[in-house]
Amino acid sequence: MKSSKLDSLRIDNSVRERPRLPLAVILLGIALVAGVSLYFAIPRASDAERIAGKKKPANATSAALPASATNSTLTPRSATTSPLVKDSVLTVSGYIVNRERIELSPRFMGVVKWIGVKKGDAVTNNQVVVLLDDTEYHARETEIKGRLEATRANLEKSQLSYARVEKLVTAKVETQQQLDDWRLNVRVAEAQVKETQGQLALIQTYIDWTIIRSPINGVILEKLVDPNELVTPQSFGGTRGPSTALIALADPSDLQVEIDLNEADVAKVYLGQKCRISPEAYPEKTYEGYVAEKAPEASRQKGTLQIKVQIKAPDAFLTPELSAKVDFMRQP
């Protein structure tokens, strides 16, 4: 019984063997793949003709152009470039900047009452651009004027009393001490008048300071505050805090090109050296200039030395913060 069960569980050898592909079929597949690869790898004459056919229209077009047209296109370009290469020792790029940026700041804390300019407006020298609130200062001015009238009246009273006592002393009715006392009273009253006059002049100066004027003929670069905003004087050292400046302006006729010059080229540049400036936005325009400034120390991190090239006759095409190319000319 047990042997019959074991025989039923035994696996037949014919079932256990895996089917094997004939070796000839495998070799045939490898040969077929190799043949297809060689077919696509070997170049054919039709491919060369097709490539030549694609290039032919371009060559035909260039050949069809007359020689005069080709020369007229290429000759001016080389003629414009070659003098720059011959005359210059160095060509670098930089940025157009204002030589001076002026930020107007109030002399004391106050509230902006009115602003009469906006960004891009042209202003003239001594033009009123900002007004600060002057209500408090006008009230103090009225108070001081009243005090001045009182001190003048006191001075007049002292002078009259002194004159009266002087007559009495002459008539030997009053003593000399009384006369001396009134003389001192007159001097005190005169000092009080001068003191009050000084206070009035000071408050009038404060009132004048509430009127902010442009110090130059220029253009407004930035409006930094708005009406009804509290402003404070700019701190020492040029560190600008919030709402310390009112507006920023500059002279558009005083422009420079700021360049970070590589230390390897420093020997090629000297103060007063003539330059030719071409703005990147208008490469067909050129301007004359000269090296106006060289920084007293270099930047160790960048390995550069900052120089500034003054533009002699800038016009409306030159805009600050745009890039420009500078050719440093050879020394004649």
Please tell me the CATH code under which domain 134-209 is placed.
1.10.287
Tokens at 64, concatenated: 């069809």
In the chain, what percentage of residues exceed pLDDT 90?
64
Q: What is the DSSP letter of 1?
A: -
DSSP string, 232-245: -PPPGGG---TT--
Could you tell me which residues come within 8 angstroms of residue 38 by beta carbon, excluding any fewer than 6 positions away? none
Tokens at 1, concatenated: 């019984």
Q: Answer whether residue 24 shows pLDDT above 70.
A: no
Domain ranges for the chain, please list them: 87-100+249-329, 134-209
- What pLDDT is attached to residue 18? 52
Distance of CA 257 to the CA centre of its chain: 12
Distance of CA 306 to the CA centre of its chain: 16
> Which region among 1-5, 96-100, 280-284, 290-294 has the lowest average model confidence (pLDDT)?
1-5
In the beta sheet, which residues pair with residue 259? 307
Question: What band does 83 get if pLDDT is binned at 50, 70 and 90?
Answer: very low
Q: φ, ψ for residue 260 (rounded to 5)?
A: -95, 100
- What pLDDT is attached to residue 79? 29
Question: What band does 293 get if pLDDT is binned at 50, 70 and 90?
Answer: very high
Half-sphere exposure of 94 (CA within 13 A, CB side): 29
- What pLDDT is attached to residue 46? 56
Residues 166 and 183: their CA atoms lie apart, in Å, by: 9
DSSP string, 112-147: EEEE---TT-EE-TT-EEEEE--HHHHHHHHHHHHH
Q: Answer whether residue 78 shows pLDDT above 50.
A: no
Place of tokens 């006059």: 197
Verdict on whether the full-model pTM lies above 0.85: no
- What pLDDT is attached to residue 115? 95
Which residue pairs, CB below 8 angstroms and at least 24 apart, start in 73-76?
none
> Which region among 30-44, 145-159, 182-196, 275-289 has the lowest average model confidence (pLDDT)?
30-44
Tokens at 148, concatenated: 């001045």
Question: What band does 43 get if pLDDT is binned at 50, 70 and 90?
Answer: low
Residues 262 and 323: their CA atoms lie apart, in Å, by: 17
Instruction: Please return the burial class of 238, using the count of CB atoms within 10 Å of its CB with bins 0-12, 13-18 and 19+.
Output: exposed
- What pLDDT is attached to residue 56? 45
Q: How many CB atoms lie within 10 A of CB 2?
A: 6
* CATH class of the domain defined by 87-100+249-329: mainly beta
In the chain, what percentage of residues exceed pLDDT 70?
74
